[in-house]
A and B are shown apart, each in its own frame.
Chain A
Amino acid sequence: MEQGWAAITETELECEVAALYSAHARELHRFAALILRQQDGASDAVQEAFLRYFAERKCGGSIENPRAWLYRVLHNYLLDRQAKAAIKREVASEDVVEPLDGAHDPEVRVARSQAARQIARDLTGREFECLLLRAEGLSYEEMATALGIRSGTVGALLARVRRKLLDVPGNDGSTRLGIAEALGSLLHEGGSHSS
């Protein structure tokens, strides 16, 4: 995409943005909702990321990897928004969206939900973001672009996540271990989860 605004029409640019939106908005929305710990504001944040893409292209910018670029812009926007709102990055249980779980057994649902929260609590903000991006299937290079860090740092962060997942203790053992194993497998294989 080496063309500037002079070489791309308004319609072409809108089509380009629309195609990117169709391809990536869902995962970006998921990422924003997880970072914000709520659905509120996620759609606005995603719109802002696409607005910045639109403006960048209008100003003649060339973007080699739009997906990674959108993640980076969205991530920075969310950090900025959180800083302004003085929201702690800590995962407080009252801030977490109460999940729906497909399991029919209420005890299993509660145990899984608690286990997921505990794992999230054990991870630093940066580790949690790496985990989310990896879960979306981003490569190390894309994650590095999105987070503004080196790909070697991405590898180190994911290794730390993996170690923490392996060390997950548990009174409610099998559930927590099950989630930890699932996450570890996800990080190892780099596959994206189905929505």
Chain B
Amino acid sequence: MEFVRIQTEPPAEGVQASPDPVGLSDLLSHLRRWESSLPAPELRGITIRSRVAQELGVYLGGNAAQSVLRPVSDDAGNLIPTIQPLLGRFLGRKAASLLSSHIVDVAVVRH
């Protein structure tokens, strides 16, 4: 539409307006860089569990958080399926989903 179009158009010097195949390769590089910045595999599990415990401890208390996180694998591949059902009992499904994403963001993405 006109309004959106004229607001979106790049300035005359032609700033890149939208992602392209180069953008995708940049993204994949970004993902790989992020992965390589994670703690070493032998430390990853304990590091992530510790960070998540700090976040979860606010809601559950430190001991309960540690206990809940015990089944989380070293690659954290089952982190969300482990914590989300439990959080859902207290907060409801939607809020638990939002909180899980927040915890992943704080404890895993922005480590």
Q: A-side interface residues toward B, CB under 8 Å?
A: 4-6, 14, 17-18, 21-22, 25-26, 29-30, 33-34, 39-40, 43, 46-47, 50-52, 54-56, 58-62, 73, 96-101, 112-113, 116, 119-120, 132, 135, 148, 178-179, 182-183, 186, 193, 195
Closest to A5 in B: B77
Contact B8 A60 (CB under 8 A): no
B43 in contact (CB, < 8 A) = no
Interface residues of B in 45-103 (CB under 8 A from A): 73, 75-82, 84, 98, 100-101
Closest to A132 in B: B4
Contact A4 B80 (CB under 8 A): yes
A–B complex contacts, Cβ < 8 Å, 6 sampled: A18-B24, A33-B17, A55-B104, A99-B8, A100-B11, A182-B2
- What's the dominant secondary structure at chain B's contact region? helix
Task: Please tell me which one of the listed residues B15, B30, B104, B108 contacts residue A47 in the complex, with CB atoms under 8 A apart.
Answer: B30
A101→B2 CA distance, assembly (Å): 9
Contact B80 A60 (CB under 8 A): yes
Contact B1 A21 (CB under 8 A): no
Contact A179 B77 (CB under 8 A): no
Contact A112 B2 (CB under 8 A): yes
Contact A97 B26 (CB under 8 A): no
Residues of A contacting B80 with CB < 8 Å? 4, 56, 59-62
Fill in one digit per residue for B1-34: 1 if any A CB lies within 8 Å of its CB, else 0.
Answer: 1111111111110011111000110111011001
Residues of B contacting A14 with CB < 8 Å? 28, 31
Task: Please tell me which one of the listed residues A56, A99, A178 contacts residue B6 in the complex, with CB atoms under 8 A apart.
Answer: A99
Residues of A contacting B81 with CB < 8 Å? 4, 60
Contact B3 A119 (CB under 8 A): yes
Given contacts A6-B78, A60-B78, contact A47 B27 (CB under 8 A): yes
Given contacts A5-B75, A17-B31, contact A59 B4 (CB under 8 A): no
Give chain A nearest CB distance to B42 CB in angstroms: 18
Closest to B33 in A: A51
Interface size class of B (residues with CB under 8 A): 35 or more
Task: Please tell me which one of the listed residues A30, A43, A59, A112 contacts residue B76 in the complex, with CB atoms under 8 A apart.
Answer: A59
Give chain A nearest CB distance to B92 CB in angstroms: 14
Residues of B contacting A182 with CB < 8 Å? 1-3
Residues of B contacting A50 with CB < 8 Å? 27, 31
A6→B82 CA distance, assembly (Å): 13
Given contacts A25-B18, A59-B77, A59-B79, contact A54 B31 (CB under 8 A): yes
Give chain B nearest CB distance to A124 CB in angstroms: 16
Give chain A nearest CB distance to B27 CB in angstroms: 6
Given contacts A25-B23, A43-B16, A195-B18, contact A179 B10 (CB under 8 A): no
Q: A4-B81, A34-B8, A55-B34 are in contact. List 12 more A-B contacts (CB 8 A).
A: A17-B31, A21-B24, A25-B27, A26-B19, A56-B104, A59-B76, A60-B80, A97-B9, A101-B9, A112-B6, A116-B3, A183-B1
